[in-house]
Chains A and B, each alone.
Chain A
Amino acid sequence: MIEKKDIEKLASLARITIPEHEIEKVRQDIGAILAYVGQINEANELSDKNSIELSVESSYHSGVKNVMREDGEPHETGKYTKTLLASAPKTEGGYIKVRKILQ
């Protein structure tokens, strides 16, 4: 059972303010969704978890692998800086500006 303090904790972890008057509705909604998704526990009882191995044909997930490339061919320094900084709400001298975090 999800409680009010759980919602507050999640909101703090997710860096989202939830207004006090909305917390109860969010708590009920998340409770209902968790009850719904809990069904998947039945699915796993049907099969031995360790036996699930996929053939190459089954799905793209069977062939999932890390894709790496060698370091190299860097673009010219500063090539995209101006364009990207133009999106930032606050900048100063080619940097993104944020509030001081060390007092």
Chain B
Amino acid sequence: MIDIKNLTIQKAHKHLVDGDFSVEALVAEYLKNIKEKDGDVHAFLEVFEVREQVNKAQRMINEGRATLLTGIPIAVKDNILIEGRRAGSASKILEGYVATYSGLAIKKLEDAGAIFIGRTNMDEFAMGSSTENSAYGPTKNPHDLSRVSGGSSGGSAAAVAMGGALVALGSDTAGSVRQPAAFCGVVGLKTTYGSISRSGLIALGSSLDQIGPITKSVSDAEIIFNAIKGPDPLDSTTLRESEFDAQKNRYTKKVEKTIGVPRSLVDGDGIATDVRENFNLAIKHLESLGYIIKDIELPHVKYALPAYYIMLPGEASSNLARFDGVKYGLHVPGDKLLDEYLQTRGQGFGPEVRRRILLGTYVLSSGYYDAYYNKSQEVRKLIAKDFDEAWKSVDLILTPTSPTLPFKLGEKTADPVSMYLADVFTVPSNIVGIPTISVPSGTREVEGKTLPYGVQFFSPLCREDLLFKVGKEFLGE
């Protein structure tokens, strides 16, 4: 019997190399959990046949070629392509699509001998904060099945929380890794824009998207980040190592162990009282660890969310133009080519996706482009300047990850704007490209269930190292 509850990548690696258990036995534990729990939770859209991967990993271990990730079971969000396997962004429009290539992050994990155990549920095309927009039904929160798992990477977060995988990959465009991680009581990392290649990630908002790990510990998130980061000729926005280091060095020797709290954001409307109380406990904990807490102002951050809901639909409407029933996926026959486009896209996309495509078409149309999309890019610069100013006096910023505890299934589905507000704390880092990590921050009993809180640390560009340091201290790793 393997104790997977307290397993980390490093511990699993040591056991595998020492021969305490085999890759097969380790993977079998996770598969058993999936079989027992996933009927209720619905984290996975598909569990893969793993035989070949298991054999390959075991051979690597036996021959002394094991990496830290050899034999580690990883769940992968349904918008990340693995060559030869189904991928569909949880959308009917990609029904039947089999990936024709793997992106760099997947190739690196594959080379390291990791085991892809299955593909996880998500909001359709990563549009949502609850996984309720999946065309295949929602993922429920493993801590309380009447509540959402968060989103859009809800399946990945739930998979890790319920012991269906040791780690998972998600994608984060406005908090889609961090918010579900917080809702499921695990760690979620969004890294510097350009640090991890987006090749093989089905595009949502190209100026915002990053692949990111969901794990049970900060150390595990760090291991995955180090394994999958790096430049890629197939993603021209990736940073070369020298660029990453140069940016990183801009922030060395500035301020140390000083955490800024944007009070006006944390105390704003719509932030639950219990979330604020929990947040204040997190501050006390950090003070006891020797951190200095300072109030800071980020005057334009309150415009991050409205700006996001202009730039994202714009970019998404353009990215999703490729789904036309001609090249792949669903094809609805019609009398004329135009009818086929109209019908395929009308039937293949769900309500939220259609809504955002129409909105994107509106903000990019010639009469409104300046008033909306261009203005959102100006706001983006104002927010970047706010952070720039803040980094002069602090080296980290702290906020709650979500304005509420996990909400009930169906609670926010009728009103899109109320769902959008779930991203209020997570979206600023995507807008300016900075790294942010969400870590568990205690729990609360609600209706007999134990629900997790999360807080998130922001750092300057390319200072993931600061996030790992403070995250480990915060969790006592």
Binding site for B on A (CB under 8 A): 6-7, 10-11, 13-19, 22, 26, 29-30, 32-34, 36-44, 46-47, 49, 52, 54-62, 67, 69, 80, 83-84, 86-90, 96, 98-101
Contact = CB atoms under 8 A, between A and B. Distances in A.
A18 B354 CA distance: 8
Contacts of B300: 43, 46
A33 B98 contact: no
Given A14-B317, A37-B372, A40-B379, A58 B358 contact: no
Given A15-B345, A89-B326, A30 B362 contact: yes
B98 A37 contact: no
Interface in B373-388: 375-376, 378-382, 384-385, 387-388
Contact of A54 (B340, B375, B381, B415): B381
A40 B310 contact: yes
A87 B327 CA distance: 7
Nearest to A56: B250
B361 interface: yes
A31 to B, nearest CB: 11
Given A36-B309, A57-B391, A60-B461, A15 B375 contact: no
Closest 8 CB pairs of A and B: A17-B346, A89-B331, A67-B236, A59-B384, A87-B328, A99-B337, A58-B384, A60-B433
Contact of B342 (A16, A34, A41): A16
B388 A57 contact: yes
A30 B100 contact: no
B379 A44 contact: yes
8 contacts: A11-B358, A14-B317, A15-B341, A30-B359, A42-B303, A44-B375, A87-B100, A89-B325
Nearest to A38: B306
B194 interface: yes
Of listed A10, A39, A44, A60, residue having the most chain B CB within 10 A: A60
B100 A41 contact: no
Nearest to A50: B378
Contacts of A15: 321, 324, 338, 341-342, 345
Interface in B316-362: 317, 321, 324-331, 334-338, 340-343, 345-347, 349, 351, 354-355, 357-362
A90 to B, nearest CB: 7
